[in-house]
Amino acid sequence: MTDVSNAERLLQIGEAADRANLTQRTLRYYEEKGLLEPPTRMDGGVRLYTPDDMERIDRIRQLKELLGFSLAEIKDMLEMEDVRLQIKAGWRRDADADEKAEKARTAREVTVQQIALIDQKMEKMASLRATLADRVRKYDEMLVRYAEPQESEPAPVRS
C-alpha cells in the first residue's frame, strides 16, 4: 500500500514541467548542470519526479526569478543547502558536545556563505535601482523645465 501511495506522488516529466511552469527541456538541462539529481526512471526510461524533486525545482525557480541568480550561483546555493540538510539528517541527540558543535559550525558557515551570495545580488540590485532613480529625477527636472510654457515662446494655438 505504501508503494502505491508513493507511486501516485511521482510525476512524469511532462506533469512535473507543467506543475513547475517550465519546459521538459529545462528540467533535463537542470539535471545536466547538476542542479537536480538524476530522477528515478520507469522501465522505459521516463523520468519520475518526487515531491522532494519538486521542492528543489521550486527553489531553483525562486533563486532564478526572484533573485536573478545565474545557474552557477543557484548550484552553489543548492550545494550549501544540501550540506545543511545532510547535517540535519545526521544529527544525533546522543552525540557528544564536540560533534554537535562541529556540525553547528559547518551549518553556520554554509548559511553565512548563502547570505553573502544574496547580499552580493542585493547590492547589485540596489546599485541598479539607484541609477534608475537618478535617471527618473533627471527626467522630472526636464519635464519641469520643458513642460511649462516658456515666457519667450508663445503657447501653441490649437484649432
Residue 154 lies in a domain: no
Residues 4-26 have pLDDT tens digits of: 455 568 999 999 999 999 999 99
- Please tell me the distance from the alpha carbon of residue 89 to that of residue 151, in angstroms, as a whole number: 76
The residue from 66, 93, 110 where one domain ends is: 66
Instruction: Let me know whether 81 and 124 are in one domain.
Output: yes
Instruction: Let me know whether 59 and 99 are in one domain.
Output: no
Question: 52, 66, 60: which is closest to 29 by C-alpha?
Answer: 60
Instruction: Let me know whether 61 and 113 are in one domain.
Output: no
- Please tell me the distance from the alpha carbon of residue 106 to that of residue 73, in angstroms, as a whole number: 20
* pLDDT confidence bin for 1, thresholds 50/70/90: very low
- Please tell me the distance from the alpha carbon of residue 95 to that of residue 48, in angstroms, as a whole number: 37
* pLDDT confidence bin for 2, thresholds 50/70/90: very low
pLDDT exceeds 90 at position 142: yes
Total domains present in the chain: 2
Instruction: Let me know whether 82 and 140 are in one domain.
Output: yes
- Please tell me the distance from the alpha carbon of residue 115 to that of residue 94, in angstroms, as a whole number: 30
Instruction: Let me know whether 48 and 84 are in one domain.
Output: no
- pLDDT, position 110: 96
Instruction: Let me know whether 85 and 49 are in one domain.
Output: no
- pLDDT, position 46: 87
Q: How much of the chain exceeds pLDDT 70, in percent?
A: 88
Between 155 and 85, the higher pLDDT residue: 85
- pLDDT, position 4: 42
Instruction: Let me know whether 27 and 87 are in one domain.
Output: no
Residues 96-117 have pLDDT tens digits of: 999 999 999 999 999 999 999 9
- Domain holding 23, by residue range, is 1-66
Residue 157 lies in a domain: no
Instruction: Let me know whether 5 and 52 are in one domain.
Output: yes
Instruction: Let me know whether 102 and 60 are in one domain.
Output: no
Instruction: Let me know whether 130 and 74 are in one domain.
Output: yes
Cβ contacts of 38-45, under 8 Å, gap ≥ 24: 39/13, 40/10, 42/12
Residue 19 lies in a domain: yes
Average pLDDT (140-158) is: 75
pLDDT exceeds 90 at position 66: no
Residues 33-64 have pLDDT tens digits of: 999 998 888 888 889 999 999 999 999 999 99
